[in-house]
Amino acid sequence: MSDILFFVGHGETLIFVMLIVASILALAVGMERTIVFRKNSSNKISRFAEQLIQLMRKRDIKTAADLVNQSGDNAYTRFARFSIDHVKEDTPGLPDLMSGKIIEEKIILEKRLTILNTLGNNAPFIGLLGTVLGVIKAFHGLGTLGSTGAEVVMRSISRALLATAAGLFIAIPVVMANNYFSKKVKIITQQMEILAKEFSASIRFTKQNTKKR
């Protein structure tokens, strides 16, 4: 029994160490993704997308290319530069190529979000495991010390419950952050799909006019 208690005691400590590491990792990923999404979803980027759409509707590819080159590096400009380059080269199957580029940018935006998803889903269970180990230790103490050790047992149980609280404290903001970032990914990819449709419409219009001439 003493061997079991030895592992239970060390397991409880390990749980708290894991929760601390999980919180640090979640914070690091959250800060890194915040920087990435701020770069890809600012008001300036929204205005860029609106201006680019207007230029594509006017079939002004040259001005659109200049606008892209002046707008820094983000998911929209990379997608627009890719599309404009292939429009200029009259590349066959451009709609499929643009769809592939959107998927590529989506993969970049979703990078490391699986870490947040994993931590958010599993932190409560890690904390619950710590609580179970702590309760086992507390009840063993109660059986050994009897009523004289009630104070010690209560302290052990409160520490055990702290593990569950810590797991929830980590999981709740992590899940909220993951949902927020996932929503941002969806918005950005939908806006790139709108741009893709504008490029496709511009190409069809240009080809129709060329045939008429």
Residue 111 lies in a domain: yes
pLDDT at 148 over 60: no
CA distance 15 to 167: 10
Residue 72 lies in a domain: yes
CA distance 106 to 46: 17
Residue 210 lies in a domain: no
Residue 212 lies in a domain: no
For the chain, give the percent of residues with pLDDT over 70: 85
Residue 213 lies in a domain: no
Residue keyed to tokens 């935006």: 109
Q: What is the pTM of this model?
A: 0.82
CA distance 109 to 97: 19
- 191: Cβ–Cβ under 8 A, 6 or more apart, which residues? 49, 76
pLDDT for the residue 197: 87
CA distance 174 to 83: 36
Number of domains into which the chain is organized? 1
Residue keyed to tokens 């749980």: 15
Question: Number of helices (H) and strands (E), helices first, in the chain?
Answer: 7, 0
CA distance 56 to 123: 47
- 65: Cβ–Cβ under 8 A, 6 or more apart, which residues? 81, 84, 88
pLDDT in tens, 152-168: 677 778 888 888 999 99
At 96, the amino acid letter reads D
CA distances, 186 to each of 53, 69, 194 (Å) = 19, 25, 12
Model confidence at 123, pLDDT cuts 50, 70, 90, reads very high
Is 71:77 a contact under the CB 8 Å cutoff?
Answer: yes
Residue 99 lies in a domain: yes
Residue 51 lies in a domain: yes
Least confident interval from 1-10, 86-95, 119-128, 189-198: 1-10
User: Residue 100 belongs to what domain range?
Assistant: 2-205
Residue 75 lies in a domain: yes
